[in-house]
Amino acid sequence: MYLYAYPYPCYSFRRALKPTLAVVLTLAIVLLVYSRDAWYLSSGDREIARMRLSMAEPSTHLWRPEDAARHGESRPFNATIIALVRNEELDGMVYSMRQLERSWNSKFNYPWTFFNDVPFTEEFKRRTQAETKAECRYELVPPEHWDVPDWIDPNVLQQSIDKMNAKWVKHASQISYHQMCRWYSGFFYKHPALKDMKYYWRVEPNVKFFCDINYDVFRFMADHNKTYGFTINIYDDPNTLPSLWPETMAFLEQHPEYLSPDNSLDWLTDATGRPDVTARAHGYSTCHFWSNFEIGDLDFWRSPAYEAYFAHLDRAKGFFYERWGDAPVHSVALGLFAENRNIHWFRDIGYQHSVFSNCPDTPNCHGCRPNKLAPLTLWLNKEDCRVNWFRQVCASRRKNGDMNDEDGLCGECFGWLYTVYGMEYDIVIKESSIYRIYFGQAKFAVSHLTHVYLSMKTLNYY
């Protein structure tokens, strides 16, 4: 009996184990699905989904193509699309032109202005002009705006490049890349071809535009007093700019009068996302607007504050002895000297450069993965700076008592309402010191904003 009885407990154990394994496997699958946010989505992707943030075009009056036709104006503003491009990048430039013409410029016919440090070939001119009905202009960058300054020591430059290469700094050895960053930082807006221009839209070769844009973005900038518009907001490599923030602080010590009351200093110094990066950049978060897409007011770069700032940076020689990019230089300047309310996230414009994208989940966007910063390179999710920007926007609105801005950014500030009430707000109206939040037929009044900010703090907005 003993010999034959032994297997039965094992059989019973195996039979009992089967449902246990099934439960464990099911739980593992559920956990995997629910934890996908941790690796598949970036912090900004998750926040946009959590708040059900609208990625639609601005909910304000917009200048449509038919408005231009009705008023007999095809170009209501002195504005242009610009590109610094080499002759050998012709195919990539044609690709980008075709994308932007299809999605936007064929409706408004703004001119294209191309810049190069050498003359454009006839083939470049012929093929680019064939892509648009608008005027194309081909400009030469003056040598004094492009050449390596004579006060840059060649020996020190080579030593600096060797040090950067040892740290795997991208483009460290490409002198032309250093020149490009310096030109976009402090000289492009001085070119005679832009002398009479107010706004510009920068475009690079080999970029993608995914959405039909059915309004005049330059008119939007002017109507709403916007200084700068961006789509992508990410961290930078601190090895490219170790002295940028110390030099910036030295400049502010000399010129505190240039600091805007409505600045974005918190965004520039926010160490909550990547404290290691902020430490290596000596206090700068490295968050920046990716400047391969930027729509801007040229008068900001022409301002005394920015001109003095660029002159200070240029004398510090970081464009060559380090690899300061025009994106962090522009972003730091905007964060310090511009009003936060005048910096606009073009969330509705679908755009991709290299591995990063801005893809709205709207019907007029096609060919991209909605609300995914890095669709093909999940390890780059950590580079997302949008949550930092949301915090800065909310802090700015709180400081100014302006929770009803026309571009809809107050949605970030009231995102907590979705969590609390399980529905989105429709309208936020400021009546004296009372903020009324409307949910269809329901109405909530907040007479003291302390309660609002305490609720947001609970959700890590501050």
Residues noted as catalytic: 294
Residue 236 makes CB contacts below 8 A (sequence gap 6+) with 281, 286, 287, 288, 325, 327, 328
Indicate the pairing of strand 112-116 with strand 136-140.
parallel
Sequence-distant (6+) residues with CB within 8 A of 135 are 111, 112
Instruction: List Cα–Cα distances, 93 to 88, 139, 205, in angstroms.
Output: 10, 15, 4
Between CA 41 and CA 404, with CA 272 as vertex, the angle to 5 degrees is 80
